[in-house]
Amino acid sequence: MERGCGILLPVSSLPNKYGFGCFSDEAYEFVDYLEELGMKYWQVLPLGGVDAVGSPYSSVSAFAGEPLYIDIESILDEEEIDFFKLSSNLPLAEFRKRKTEALRYVFDKLYYSTNIDKFIEENEEWVYDYAVYMVLKDELGVNYSNFPPEYKNIDSDQTIEFIKSHSEEIIYYIFLQYLFFKQWKELKAYANSKGIKIIGDVPIYCSMDSVDMYANTKCFLMDEDTGKPSYVSGVPGDYFNPEGQIWNNPLYDYEYMKMRNYQWWVQRIKHQSKLYDFIRIDHFRGFESYFAVPYGDTDISRGRWFKGPGIDLFDEFKKNRIHNLIAEDLGEITDDVRELRKKSGLAGMKVMQFAFDGDSKNIHLPHEYEKNSVAYLGTHDNDTFMGFLKDRAAKNRICEYLNLPFNVSDEIVTHMAIENIISTNSNVSIITMQDILCEGSEARINTPGTGDGNWKYRLNPNYAKNKYNKYLKYLIKVKNR
| Residues carrying an active site annotation | 282, 328, 381
Strands (E), 417-464: 428-432
The answer to whether 19 and 88 are in contact (CB under 8 A) is: yes
Q: Rounded CA gap, 169 and 135, in Å?
A: 7
Q: Rounded CA gap, 396 and 394, in Å?
A: 5
Amino acid (1-letter code) at residue 52: A
Identify the DSSP state of 222.
Answer: B
The answer to whether 216 and 264 are in contact (CB under 8 A) is: yes
Distance of alpha carbon 135 from the chain centroid: 25
Q: Where are the alpha helices (DSSP H) in 250-391?
A: 254-259, 263-275, 311-319, 335-344, 385-388
Amino acid (1-letter code) at residue 147: F
Cβ-Cβ contacts under 8 Å for 387 (sequence gap 6 or more): 440, 441, 443, 444
Q: Rounded CA gap, 31 and 52, in Å?
A: 28
Choose among 262, 268, 260: nearest CA to 61.
268
Alpha carbon distance, N-terminus to C-terminus of the chain: 12
